Structure 1
């Protein structure tokens, strides 16, 4: 299966909005503008190209950290899986939106300074986690320290089309 991964340098174009989906997963969504520039030897100046707009979805811890760290206008770099969503507007016209499911996001340090603050996941009682996993039996779903089960991951991959259904 072919998937398109992209690296994008641009600016946060909207406020970061967070919402909770499914069983408590956080997703942060915002728009990023990226304008290519090239040097024109004829004009002897930099010329801006057409601005590309992307909708970015950042899940779970990455989403929570985006809400705490990013502001409209911040220069960022991001890496993630690119897809195109096609939809119809109120007038019936077909529209498309470029969507990036982010894997990594950071401030663009070519444009300024940033500081890093490590955020530790909430404290996990490993004894109760081990007991919970043992109670599910061999071959049963196993729970990670963030509360995600392997079944949750498989369900998400099936929804994303990563795992093909056997017929």
Structure 2
């Protein structure tokens, strides 16, 4: 595999957003924040560096499992997946967003405990599913509200 893999240890910064795409593929998006720390030799103290936030996209079985795991804002997590850098336009300027297409996601067991329940496997993604997920991820990047899963206008636009 020649794709950039990344592992992030952080916390859930916003409640996860779960939906099923128009093709019936489960999708979950969430924000993970992390604050790197550096040791300052002059002061002998650890210093927090600026907090960073990444969008994490989960598909199929992983999306269903994360949704069923009742992950909440503020909980510590470990995420591994493929790093994706996307370009988008906002206010007439081109910007970039770093995202993780997650292959694994779970609670950080260094900070708590969890109970494991095994499941069955799912199917492949379609191009339409990927486009729908990109629209959801754009909402994180643009800082706007995510679509309400009960909003009929969202279903009409996605169709």
TM norm structure 1: 0.69
Unaligned runs of 5+ in 1: 122-144, 160-167
User: What number of residue pairs does the alignment pair up?
Assistant: 128
Q: CA RMSD in A?
A: 2.2
Q: Which has the larger radius of gyration?
A: 1
Deviation string for 1:58-89 (max 9, x for gaps)? Answer: 11111111112211111011110001111111
Pair 1:19 & 2:26 matched: no
Secondary structure of residue in 2 paired with 1:111: coil
Structure 2 equivalent of residue 74 of structure 1: 75
- Pairs within 5 Å for 1:31-70: 31-69=31-69, 70=71
Q: Distance in 1 between matches of 2:42 and 2:117?
A: 46
| 1:97, distance to aligned residue in structure 2 (A) | 1.1
TM norm structure 2: 0.72
Moved over 4 A (4+): none
Secondary structure of residue in 1 paired with 2:11: strand
Deviation string for 1:27-50 (max 9, x for gaps)? Answer: 100001111112222112111112
Q: Distance in 1 between matches of 2:115 and 2:14?
A: 22
The structure whose RCO (Cα within 8 Å, separation 6+) is larger is 2
Structure 2 equivalent of residue 88 of structure 1: 89
Unaligned runs of 5+ in 2: 131-159
